[in-house]
Structure 1
Amino acid sequence: MNQTSGDKAAASTDAIILAGSRPDGDAMADSRGIAVKALIPVADKAMLAHVAEALLHHKAINNLHLLAQDFKPFWKHFDTKFLESDERVKTHKSSATIAASMNDVLSEDDARFPVLITTADNVLLNEAMIGEFLDAAGSSDIAIAVVEKQVLLKSYPASQRTWLTLRGGQYSGANLFYFGSPQARQILDYWAEVEQDRKKGWKILTIFGPWLLFLAVTRMLTVDQIAARIGKRLGLTIKIVRMSQAEACIDVDKESDLVMVEQILAARG
């Protein structure tokens, strides 16, 4: 049987989970007296455990890298202490920002590409999502997962998300990213500039010049055309992956998200 480029990428892919704390703390964790957000229980299991198990159980994932400021809370917690003894799990102390932390990990001598990147609050991540994303990412330098508005609202009409409106559709970001080559690291310079404004969809486009921003806000470009223009400027192949599962863009950012996620997990059984 012939392998597609997506199959080859998925054959050996490392994964990174961003499991650190925000500098100013997290309201959900603080209100529960929990050390870090990643340990908030969702359906009676710490968020990080949901995500780590989904990745470690997937045949495409090789090593799992955890980024956090302090790992002691994880090793002491019943749901996540197994990660300390798993030889596939590697730990990396977070820097001041996500972009800096990512750059530190991916610039190490033993860093492996490709790598899938997600967050500890991406609790609904499952085997199908991981496979779909990696297969679609293929041989790209960078892949970014999104969910189209109609896909989400068809299944969850009450869901409140931040939408980026472009020619041809409205999109919400999913916490799934793919770096297929070391060259992809250069996008981290731009990531650092918009990190504090991640909910402002237009912010990143200002970095690539007023003309691109103008074409975007006037809806003269599709999301794929924007990715192509940014990729051309950076010398990278950037792919936008439209996820078929609405749940791909539902993470646990607020209390209402937690309620919805627990309902979805209960329905999954």
Structure 2
Amino acid sequence: MNSALILAGTRPGGDPLAGVEGKPHKALIEIEGRTLLERVVTALRGAGMDRIGVSCDDGPVAELARSLECEVMRTGAGPSESASIAFAAFGAPLLITTADHALLRAEWVRELIEGTPADADLGVAMAKWEDIEIAMPGSRRTYLRFADGSWSGCNLFYLRTHRAEAALSTWRSVEADRKHPWRLVRRLGLTTLAAYALGRLGLGDGIARLGRRIGIEVRLVRASDGLAAVDVDKPQDLEDIRALTGRTET
């Protein structure tokens, strides 16, 4: 069975963007008449996901998730703990994404799954700066700069084997450093740090080294479409996405 998890937890104090939109939760913001959560679920169904869990608190998001025939999963103290709870229930393989991935497409999900090698425990989708610029010029994303260019995360992870659980146990500390590549690389030891400092460390190599450091095989899967890295974090993101979908869905 193909399983997926949508992270839709509530931020402490609520999400400012949801407040601006007059919604109790960001997952309930609508684009072209459909909530963000519904858009993500539709893409996952299109990718062949038979079992979809939504990690959220009780309330309107949980009610919507059930109406979409998804399983409501309890949340943890943060995204990493929520993912661990779902992984314990669903097992491997498990595709993980977020409720604010408004442009998610089934082909991006399949691309990650098919692009994760058979010898890998975990596949991570990332997009390069130039691909994002082509897809949505001027989009402001968080980039990690490596020898092979600048990369941005796509909020798409494929936990292919049960061994990928090791990555969840270190996710919280890595997530805290996601905007600081020096701190990420520092975890890998002096040799890797030197390679990064000299501009010789590619992102794929860095991800693989991090995986081996925690005892698993992790592979970078480059997103073919830069839009895969565009989620709804800021009002400008929402404005850009609405403009884009207004052109493509009419």
Could you tell me whether the CA contact under 8 Å between 1:166 and 1:217 is conserved in 2? no
Pairwise CA distance, 1:215: 2.5
Match of 1:37 among 26, 35, 41: 26
Q: CA RMSD in A?
A: 1.9
Give the Cα separation in 2 of the matches to 1:213 and 1:23.
34
String of CA shifts for 1:132-184, please: whole Å, max 9, x gaps.
Answer: 11110142211111111111112322211221111121111111011011111
Q: Give the drift of 1:237.
A: 1.5
Amino acid across the alignment from 1:52: V
TM-score by length of 1: 0.85
1:125 alignment partner in structure 2: 104
Where 1:258 maps in the other structure, the secondary structure is helix
Equivalent position of 1:137 in the other structure: 116
Matched residue pairs, number? 248
Q: 1:141 to 1:263 in 2, by over 3 A?
A: same
> 1:84: how far off?
1.4
- Distance across 2 between alignment mates of 1:118 and 1:166: 24
Divergent runs of 4+, >4 A: none
Matched, 1:265 2:245: yes
1:84 aligns with 2:70: no
Q: Which among 40, 55, 64 is matched to residue 51 of structure 1?
A: 40
SS of the residue corresponding to residue 122 of structure 1 reads coil
Aligned mates of 1:66, 1:259 — CA distance in 2: 25
Helix, strand or coil for the counterpart of 1:107? Answer: helix
Match of 2:50 in 1: 62
Is 2:151 aligned against 1:171? yes
Structure 1 gaps, min length 5: 1-11
Trace 1:1-269 onto structure 2 (pairs within 5 A): 12-59=1-48, 61-70=49-58, 72-74=59-61, 81=64, 83-85=65-67, 89-108=70-89, 111-139=90-118, 140-269=120-249
SS of residue matched to 1:105 = helix
Q: Distance in 1 between matches of 2:244 and 2:193?
A: 37
Q: Secondary structure at the match of 1:24?
A: coil
Out of 217-226 and 123-132, give the one that drifted further.
217-226
SS in 1 for 2:232: coil
Aligned residues of 1:20 and 1:36 also touching (Cα < 8 A): no
Structure 2 distance, partners of 1:23, 1:212, is 36
CA distance in 2, matches of 1:101, 1:155: 31
- Structure 1 window deviating more from structure 2 (174-183 vs 221-230): it is 221-230
Secondary structure of 2:50's counterpart equals strand
Amino acid at match of 1:47: L
Q: Distance in 2 between matches of 1:141 and 1:166?
A: 23
The CA deviation at 1:55 is 0.8
Does the residue aligned with 1:143 lie in a helix, a strand or coil? strand
Overall identity of the aligned pairs, in % = 31
